[in-house]
Structure 1
Amino acid sequence: MSFLVLLLLVWIEKFSAWRLRLQQDGWWQAWLQRVEGEEPAANHTGWQLLCLILLPLFLLGLLLWGLESVAYGWLAFPVHLLVMLYSLGRGDLLAQQGPFRDAWRRGDQQGALHAAERDMGVTAEQGDELLARVQGHLLWQSCQGFFVVIFWYALLGPLVALAYRLLALTEQQAASPVLRERAGQWRHALDWLPVRLLISSFALVGNFVAVSRGYLAELLNWDIEGQRLVAEAGRTAAEVPAQASGEAGLRTLDALWHLLLRTAVVWYAALALWILLI
């Protein structure tokens, strides 16, 4: 059933806007505010984070447990699909790039800076840094919004996929710096393995030699930030520069997107083979 869910996930993501309509985080923001308001974050951060994550997971687990005993578990199928759609990253990556690409194509660096900050949350002190930041944003959002989620779903099911998204939302939206930091630490633990597998996949579909030489020694380093590692390895695998002007700069984004698509095909093929073998 998990492979069918992942196939439908790709189809829905490509041909509909269901994900954007489903990803309404108002309930989560209300729950976050309630939990943060109960106790001082500095003294009860761990308990707050457990309350934030475990209660939604408990309710979901209870629902799935009840449904899996009916009709051979097929009633749980739509729940799996809805949870996975909710657990994917927020926003439309390609649509967010539209105004930036128009400004970059015109050579309007100020307009590109403004569009990147407004639509993608990407900032840069100088126009020369902006393209590299946008490249990194594309790679990291694809990683944390898609690859990490499907990895944990395929391995451990929808509960862990949802837990990862709730940790990401907590890190982004919590008012307490201490709570955001703790959520980031837990999220880093969930990022670590799928990020390394993603970089290995980049090597398979891109420049294998360059990625192996540049990042093989760093793959087991627990402390290195996943976002930086994915951005640097992705550029290396796709053989694109961090700085380019006009159409040449936009072609680097296209090359990175194609790298991500090829990597997704590899992941799905590997998952299909794994299901057949077991």
Structure 2
Amino acid sequence: MTFLVLLLVALILLWTPWRIGYPKEVLAPWVNWAGRRGRDWLALLAIFSLLVPLGLLLWGVQSLFYGLLTLILHVALLLLCVGRHDPLGRMIQDCHAAWQRGDHAAAGLIAEQQLGVVPADETETLPVAVQSRLVAVTLQDYFVPAFWYLLLGPLGAVAWRLLWLAAQRPTLPAARPAAMLAHALEWIPARLLGLSLALVGHFEITLRTLRDLAGDWDLPGGELASRCARAALSGSTVELAAAEQQNDILIETRQLMIRALLTWAVIIAFLSMLG
């Protein structure tokens, strides 16, 4: 059933208006409320208490209507864990269109206001900064929830989303421990994503990049994935080409991430057939 759930969620994201999951961040009000019920780890435990009724609900609908309710509930919970950015669709369209027509000031303003992206230094062009954001969001919105769903079921995916939402709210007492656990939960998926990028891009150089970075515990998963993506596209981990010479870098990166997703889909389908 796991592959069927992932397939249904993918079809919903692809062919329905719910490209970003539910229209609202359903879990956000709970995180905002429960994240203040104590200090640090106690607040985080309060956030995680939502998993108890969800687990009881999953247990209660087992075998009802030949498992149809379980399937629907799994799909609904996994949709809760999808981010609201649509990184493989509309997320970068406005910024890319402005950059393509030569309006770099507008592109920079759009990137800052809509994506929260500002080039780190003069050597980093805006498309490269947006590229890093695109890869990191794809990891956090798609790869990490799918990984923990495969490993721990819908509760694992929901736990990741709760952690990520709490980590994005620095005023919450639970923000610091949530950020620590979120970093730990994305550690393995980030490296698996890097491996899939090697399979669909420049294999040797991407694999060498991954091997050099894989043991660094403190490196954020999004940063590791973005370096692997640059290596997969350009074959270079150091030199960043001028933006004028790489106007299509964002489109190429989006296509690269789609191929990486399809690689995961094929592997999961094969494992499902093996039982």
| TM-score over 0.5 (shorter chain) | yes
- Tell me how far apart the structure 1 counterparts of residues 41 and 146 of structure 2 sit (CA, whole Å): 26
For residues 51-98 of structure 1, the C-alpha deviation after alignment (integer angstroms, 9 at most, x for no partner) is: 112x22111111110001323322111111111111011122231312
- Which structure's residues are more often helix, by fraction? 1
Residues 92, 218 of structure 1: alpha-carbon distance in 2 compared, 3 angstrom cutoff: closer
- Tell me how far apart the structure 2 counterparts of residues 19 and 115 of structure 1 sit (CA, whole Å): 21
Counterpart AA for 2:34: V
Confirm or deny that 1:64 pairs with 2:52: no
The equivalent of 1:35 in structure 2 is: 34
- Which runs of 5 or more structure 2 residues have no equivalent in the other structure? none
- The answer on whether the counterparts of 2:27 and 2:80 sit within 8 Å (CA) in structure 1 is no
- Tell me how far apart the structure 2 counterparts of residues 108 and 82 of structure 1 sit (CA, whole Å): 41
Confirm or deny that 1:151 pairs with 2:150: no
The equivalent of 1:172 in structure 2 is: 168
- Tell me how far apart the structure 1 counterparts of residues 250 and 2 of structure 2 sit (CA, whole Å): 31
Identity %: 34
Say what the alpha-carbon RMSD is for the aligned residues. 2.0
Counterpart AA for 2:103: D
- Name the SS of the counterpart of 1:173 in structure 2: coil
- The answer on whether the counterparts of 1:32 and 1:174 sit within 8 Å (CA) in structure 2 is no
Pairs aligned (count):
270
For residues 112-134 of structure 1, the C-alpha deviation after alignment (integer angstroms, 9 at most, x for no partner) is: 11000111121236675322110
- Tell me how far apart the structure 1 counterparts of residues 249 and 168 of structure 2 sit (CA, whole Å): 28
Residues 72, 174 of structure 1: alpha-carbon distance in 2 compared, 3 angstrom cutoff: farther
Offset, 1:206:
0.9
- Tell me how far apart the structure 1 counterparts of residues 193 and 21 of structure 2 sit (CA, whole Å): 28
For residues 7-37 of structure 1, the C-alpha deviation after alignment (integer angstroms, 9 at most, x for no partner) is: 1111111111225462523x64433343344
User: Residue 107 of structure 1: which of 102, 111, 115 is its match?
Assistant: 102
- The answer on whether the counterparts of 2:139 and 2:190 sit within 8 Å (CA) in structure 1 is yes
The equivalent of 1:131 in structure 2 is: 127
Counterpart AA for 1:24: K
The equivalent of 1:22 in structure 2 is: 22
- Name the SS of the counterpart of 2:85 in structure 1: coil
- Tell me how far apart the structure 2 counterparts of residues 20 and 218 of structure 1 sit (CA, whole Å): 31
The equivalent of 1:82 in structure 2 is: 76
Residues 126, 221 of structure 1: alpha-carbon distance in 2 compared, 3 angstrom cutoff: closer
- Name the SS of the counterpart of 2:138 in structure 1: helix
- Tell me how far apart the structure 1 counterparts of residues 14 and 109 of structure 2 sit (CA, whole Å): 28
Residues 154, 28 of structure 1: alpha-carbon distance in 2 compared, 3 angstrom cutoff: closer
Residues 234, 125 of structure 1: alpha-carbon distance in 2 compared, 3 angstrom cutoff: closer
Residues 3, 29 of structure 1: alpha-carbon distance in 2 compared, 3 angstrom cutoff: closer
User: Residue 185 of structure 1: which of 149, 161, 180 is its match?
Assistant: 180
- Name the SS of the counterpart of 2:5 in structure 1: helix
Structure 1 residues 67-76 or 263-272, which shifts more?
67-76
